[in-house]
Structure 1
């Protein structure tokens, strides 16, 4: 009888390389996709820091994409930080409009807004503007000469308000929500890529030693 002896089958280097490639593709496929960037405010009316002759009829905000109609808020505060108007604006794609029911008196104002980005994350920010004249006071001359003293007295008060509140409004305007908008999940990407590299390197080393044994 002829004795049959089985020879151990060696793993071909091409098979090891194919395994390494498959492993690399699998790990890369499991990597999380980069977080979608939040929408940003690209335009406002009034513009940040703008001085208006009279009160605006509405506050208009324009974003980089269509925001969601989920609890939008536009809040207007005076130079002392007191809320003078809080409006639930209308949302039309990327445009958000807050109609003012009453005109704003002369003074410095900050606008705080909050909407939900198209990716489902809430975003917020603020900007400032100034109103020079009272809209109601503009109708004063029809009442006669008595309106002039009232306007003169009001001018001193508004000047004092402008001087005292300008720092507060400037500070509020600078508090944009950039940190909230810059949230992302890409910090783990270098670690995962390193894991892929180590795995591929390990398979390549195994293939090298397999080749040496065959030789």
Structure 2
């Protein structure tokens, strides 16, 4: 039998467990804030009438110069010579050291977010200079650009992991409250 003094203790315990579950959810929120590409020059899927002399990528959060990589490849997936990435806050720029003939190119990047999570991606652009009579370079469809076989928008699935842990915590909280309620109910009989 539950006395009237035990009931407030059960309510306090349930409230404490609920608060703990909510705190776990709120604490996990910063992991969702992985860095991502906000703008690029040349832009994704752009067709340019003149070859670019530099590539500039801007991200949502500050970049760590030691962990910023930008690679340019041509349509045959050969690396195009560029300078080292120059990082200024949220922007990174590389100079294209060779003149780019007409063709399709891929910009691949890999940066580290403020939370330590690596973010990578890639995107194509095309040079179609009407004054350049060279045959265009066509991109093959089977190879992928480096670094680390970067894939556009690939962030490693961090959000799914956080949601899985938070969901498990909420389920564990519900089971604990249910077991406590069931135990207390059984004692009343």
**TM-score category, normalised to shorter length:** 0.7 to 0.9
User: Is the 8 Å Cα contact of residues 123 and 152 (structure 2) preserved in structure 1?
Assistant: no
Aligned to 2:16: 22
Distance 1:199 1:50, change over 3 A: same
Aligned to 1:124: 120
How far is 1:70 from its partner? 2.2
Aligned to 2:176: 199
User: Is the 8 Å Cα contact of residues 123 and 180 (structure 1) preserved in structure 2?
Assistant: yes
Gap runs ≥5 in structure 1: 1-9, 139-150
Distance 1:44 1:206, change over 3 A: same
For residues 127-166 of structure 1, what are the structure 2 equivalents within 5 Å?
127-133=123-129, 155=133, 157-159=134-136, 161=137, 165-166=138-139
Structure whose CA Rg is larger:
1
- Taking the aligned partners of 1:25 and 1:130, their CA distance within structure 2 comes to 53
Aligned to 1:178: 153
Q: Deviations over 1:122-172 (max 9, x none)?
A: 2111112222349xxx7xxxxxxxxxxxx7xxx3x514x3xxx14549976
User: Is the 8 Å Cα contact of residues 91 and 97 (structure 1) preserved in structure 2?
Assistant: yes
Normalising by structure 1, we get a TM-score of 0.68
Aligned to 1:187: 164
- Taking the aligned partners of 1:20 and 1:81, their CA distance within structure 2 comes to 59
Distance 1:198 1:82, change over 3 A: same
Distance 1:104 1:198, change over 3 A: same
Distance 1:108 1:20, change over 3 A: closer
How far is 1:83 from its partner? 0.9
Secondary structure of 1:88 counterpart? coil
- Taking the aligned partners of 2:178 and 2:156, their CA distance within structure 1 comes to 38
- Taking the aligned partners of 2:129 and 2:17, their CA distance within structure 1 comes to 70
Secondary structure of 2:40 counterpart? strand
